[in-house]
Amino acid sequence: MSKSKPGNNINAPSRTDIKKKAFLEAYAKLGNITKACEAHNIGRRTFYDWRDNDAQFKSDFAIADDTFNESLEAEMDRRGKEGYLEPVFYQGKEVSAVRKYSEVLLIVRAKAKMPEKYKDRVEQEHKGNVIVSLKMVLPEAAN
C-alpha cells in the first residue's frame, strides 16, 4: 500500500471500488456478466469473487440486475404496443418503412404480469386401468 501524501483524500474510493462501480453500471445496461467484465477489463472470476465475498457488491449487483430486467420489460412493452420501424427496400435502396408490432412480446408480458388469466394450462387425462400393488409388512410378534 502506498503512503499517503499531503493533500490526498483518504476517503477516496479505491481502484477496486471504481472497477466495481463501472462493472455494475455496464451490467445494468448490458445485462450480461461477460460483456460487462470485458467492457472494463475485469476477469469473470473477479466478478464471482466480488459477488461471493462482498455483501454490499452482491446487493448492488441485484439492483443492477433489476435495472436491466426493467429496461428489458420496457423494451418488450414498446415493441408490442408502439411497434418498431422495419425498412422497406426496392431495388437495393431503402424507400420506406413499415411499422411492425410484436404480438409474441405482448403475450409473454401478459403471461408474466397476469398468470392467473394467461398462463398456459395443461390438462392430462388418463384412460385405461391403473394397477396398484401394495405390500404390507407386519412387525414380528414378541416372544
Domain ranges for the chain:
15-118
Pairing outcome for strands 93-100 and 84-90: antiparallel
| pTM, 2 dp | 0.68
pLDDT tens for 52-106 read: 999 999 999 999 999 999 999 999 999 999 999 999 999 999 999 999 999 999 9
Q: Evaluate if residue 122 carries a pLDDT over 50.
A: yes
For residue 108, what is its C-alpha cell? 409473454
Nearest to 36 by CA among 59, 72, 68: 68
- Judged against a pLDDT cut of 70, whether residue 109 lies above it is answered with yes
Q: Which residue, among 81, 61, 84, 63, has the nearest Cα to 73 in the 3D structure?
A: 81
Q: 137: buried, middle or exposed (CB in 10 Å: 19+, 13-18, 0-12)?
A: exposed
Q: Which residues does 65 contact at the CB level (< 8 Å), separation at least 6? A: 27, 31
User: Residue 8: is its pLDDT beyond 80?
Assistant: no
Please check the confidence at residue 10 and state whether its pLDDT lies above 80.
Answer: no
Confidence of residue 2 (pLDDT cuts 50, 70, 90): very low
For 14-67, the pLDDT digits (tens) are: 999 999 999 999 999 999 999 999 999 999 999 999 999 999 999 999 999 999
Q: DSSP 3-state assignment of 91? A: coil
